[in-house]
Amino acid sequence: MTDCVFCRIAAGEIPADIVAGDDEFVAFKDLHPVAPEHVLVIPRRHVASLDRIGDLGEPAAGRLLAFVALVAEKAGVTEGGYRVIVNTGRNAGQEVQHVHVHILGGEPLGPMRCTRGSGS
């Protein structure tokens, strides 16, 4: 997809701070990190969201997770631990409609989710 920013990064049309890459996946530093290490991992093939991950095929979906683990090691966060996040859809905060895995680490990350500010 020529209008997808992540497809253009994967194709080398838009510069990014590449951490790792192979024929199927590419990892690059997030432009707006929320942790000392914040890397995005994407498939080179356009897949809109985790809901459509089957479009990659099961073997490639499994290799995606293995690639995420390799990137976490390259980023130096495996010893202290890291968080993997895949936002899917509007309510989850998915901003780019190309499946991407966030790897966060480099410091204690706190709770998984803030509690809601409700009146109860």
Using one digit for the tens of pLDDT, what is the confidence trace for 79-93?
999 999 999 999 999
Q: Provide the 3-class DSSP secondary structure of residue 109.
A: coil
Mean pLDDT of 13-21: 97
* Rounded CA separation 67/50 (Å): 16
Q: Provide the 3-class DSSP secondary structure of residue 19.
A: strand
Residues 6+ apart with CB under 8 A from 4: 46, 96, 97, 98
Strand locations in 11-118 (E): 18-21, 25-29, 37-43, 82-85, 101-105
Q: Is residue 101's pLDDT more than 70?
A: yes
Domain parsing of the chain, residue ranges: 5-105
Q: What is the pLDDT of residue 112?
A: 81
CA-based nearest residue to 82, from 111, 109, 105: 105
Catalytic residues, which ones? 100
Using one digit for the tens of pLDDT, what is the confidence trace for 22-71?
999 999 999 999 999 999 999 999 999 999 999 998 899 999 999 999 99
Q: Is residue 120's pLDDT more than 50?
A: no
Alpha carbon 11 to its chain's center: 17
Give one word for 57, left, alpha or beta, with left for phi > 0 and alpha for psi -120 to 50: left
Q: For residue 89, how many C-alpha atoms fall within 13 Å in the half-sphere facing its CB?
A: 3
Q: What is the pLDDT of residue 116?
A: 55
Top-level class of domain 5-105: alpha beta
